[in-house]
């Protein structure tokens, strides 16, 4: 992420587009996988099951069946398996484009293209939640996403508590390139102290992860640190935070 992107993300992260007052009476957590590399499901799935956690998988149609830069992405049919295991399938756009650099009609077309892809894979399916590719947002793209999705997740670090922005939920990375267990602990503590909703995001789950992914041990560490906290897919967690129900 370049300096301009960082500056823009830092500013727009403070400009809420769709604010809701959290009704949470206890901390809540979500775990999410972006793009997503196949190992997020084949290796991450069993770890989630071990901890009784349900996650959100943000799929970009462009990656289905693809191998890019040596990374194997999800296969056809795996979204069905993910849904059958009570995880959430969310939208990450079809082409994995940077929203702020795309015209509004091009971005809308990309949303639509991924909606068609997800519908073909899952049958009569409509994604409730979205994750911004690269976490890159502008006030304009936040409004566009908010029109289409009940909830959108960014990568602006922090815990969602008090007034939360449903157009850009904050999220904490689980990434090999900046693995900091103390920051995981601090985020979980903040969620407990503020009755907040802590969301984690990563990509692949592999013994030799990409810089943006994690090892099975890292994911296990996060899930272990969430012991005693309900871990729900983002759309279910959103319902609980906004309506007080899951």
Q: How many CB atoms lie within 10 A of CB 175?
A: 18
- Closest C-alpha to 22, from 205, 198, 141, 183: 198
CA atoms of 162 and 36, how far apart (whole Å): 30
Which residue lies nearer to Zn ion by CB, 161 or 219? 219
Nearest-5° angle of CA 35, CA 184, CA 59? 10
CA atoms of 143 and 137, how far apart (whole Å): 10
Residue 165 sits in the site that holds Zn ion (CB under 5 A): no
Minimum CB separation from Zn ion for residue 35, in Å? 4
Minimum CB separation from Zn ion for residue 132, in Å? 8
Which residue lies nearer to Zn ion by CB, 34 or 230? 34
Residue 34 sits in the site that holds Zn ion (CB under 5 A): yes
Which residue lies nearer to Zn ion by CB, 37 or 45? 37
CA atoms of 50 and 227, how far apart (whole Å): 12
Q: Are 202 and 219 in contact (CB under 8 A)?
A: yes
Q: Are 237 and 195 in contact (CB under 8 A)?
A: no
Of the ranges 25-33, 125-133, 160-168, 207-215, which one interacts with Zn ion (CB under 5 A)?
A: 125-133
Contact residue for Zn ion among 35, 88, 121, 175 (CB under 5 A): 35
Contact residue for Zn ion among 133, 135, 154, 173 (CB under 5 A): 133
In sequence order, what DSSP letters do the residues of 139-163 get, joined into one string? Answer: HHHHHHHHHH-SEEE----S-B-SE
Site string for Zn ion, 83-122 (x = CB under 5 A): ----------------------------------------
Minimum CB separation from Zn ion for residue 96, in Å? 6
Where does this chain bind Zn ion (CB under 5 A)?
34-35, 133
């Amino acid at each position: 992420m370049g300096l301009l992107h960082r500056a823009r993300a830092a500013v727009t992260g403070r400009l809420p587009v769709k604010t809701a007052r959290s009704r949470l009476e206890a901390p809540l957590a979500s775990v999410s996988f972006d793009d997503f590399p196949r190992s997020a499901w084949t290796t991450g799935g069993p770890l989630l099951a071990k901890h009784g956690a349900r996650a959100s998988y943000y799929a970009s149609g462009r990656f289905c069946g693809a191998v890019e830069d040596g990374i194997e992405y999800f296969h056809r049919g795996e979204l069905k398996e993910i849904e059958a295991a009570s995880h959430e399938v969310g939208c990450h756009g079809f082409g994995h484009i940077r929203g702020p650099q795309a015209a509004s009609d091009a971005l809308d077309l990309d949303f639509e293209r991924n909606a068609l892809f997800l519908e073909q894979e899952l049958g009569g399916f409509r994604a409730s939640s979205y994750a911004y590719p690269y976490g890159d947002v502008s006030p304009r793209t936040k409004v566009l996403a908010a029109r289409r999705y009940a909830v959108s997740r960014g990568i602006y670090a922090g815990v969602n508590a008090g007034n939360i922005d449903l157009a850009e939920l904050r999220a904490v990375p689980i990434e090999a390139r900046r693995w900091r267990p103390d920051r995981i602990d601090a985020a979980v503590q903040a969620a407990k102290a503020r009755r907040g909703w802590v969301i984690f995001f990563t990509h692949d789950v592999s013994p030799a992860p990409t810089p943006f992914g994690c090892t099975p041990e890292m994911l296990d560490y996060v899930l272990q640190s969430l012991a005693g906290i309900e871990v729900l897919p983002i759309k279910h967690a959103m319902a609980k935070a906004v309506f007080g129900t899951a």
